[in-house]
Structures are given as structure tokens and as C-alpha cells.
Amino acid sequence: QVQLVESGGGLVQAGGSLRLSCAASGRTFNPYGYTMAWFRQAPGKERECVGVITWSGASLYYADSVKGRFTISRNNAKNTVYLQMNSLKPEDTAVYYCATEWGVPGQSATEYEYWGQGTQVTVSS
């Protein structure tokens, strides 16, 4: 089993920045092999992938809506993945989730078995 705990969400004005963190733990978790990803879900909308990063730190995917503004990174020594969000817009308001799966899954939520509880990000205009 793998447990994921997100932190760092909150309320920020448009144009501001936030950094989300996701700490992974569990008897079977080994960062060297697990791809990690950030998803978000706004009210009334489907969950969408924001970014994906392999165990080696290679960024596999960014949603077009966040390219150039968001950066995903990870620290395997700390079993933690980060999402640096800059130039935030009201449309970035959502619950942000981190997820992980062994191997190299893509950007579909159905490809990930392990999920955090989510952290709310609210961007005011």
C-alpha cells in the first residue's frame, strides 16, 4: 500500500504563486520506479491531469493550460513531489490531487491506483 498526503493549498490572488507538496509513504513504496502526477478537479468538471513526472525526474506531460506557469519536480530522498504554480488564474481554482503508479502511466486518471486526499486551491480575481 502507498499513502499520499498533499499540502500547500490555499487562497491566493490572481497572478500569485503557490507550491503544493505531496509526501508518499508505505511499506511497498519505492520512489525509484513510481511515476507521480498531479491532477485537479473543479466543481462540475472532470478530473484532469496537470503534470506527470517519472521516477528519474523527467517531466512527461503538462496540460496545455498550465505550460510555462506550472513546474512539477520531485525529491526521491524525501519521497516528495512538488507542483510550483506561478501566474495563477481564477480558472486554476480546483481541488488538486497527487497520484502515483508503478511504471510509466500516462495522463489518464484511470491509470493511477494511489491517490491523495486532495488540497483546495482557490484563486481570486
pLDDT, one tens digit per residue, over 80-96 is 999 999 999 999 999 99
Is the pLDDT score of 31 beyond 90?
no
Contact 112, 101 (CB under 8 A): yes
d(CA 38, CA 50): 5
Residue from 101, 78, 106 nearest 22 by CA: 78
Q: What mean pLDDT do residues 48-63 have?
A: 91
What pLDDT, on the 0 to 100 scale, is given for residue 81? 96
Is the pLDDT score of 68 beyond 90?
yes
What pLDDT, on the 0 to 100 scale, is given for residue 117? 97
d(CA 4, CA 115): 6
Q: Which residue has the higher pLDDT, 46 or 55?
A: 46
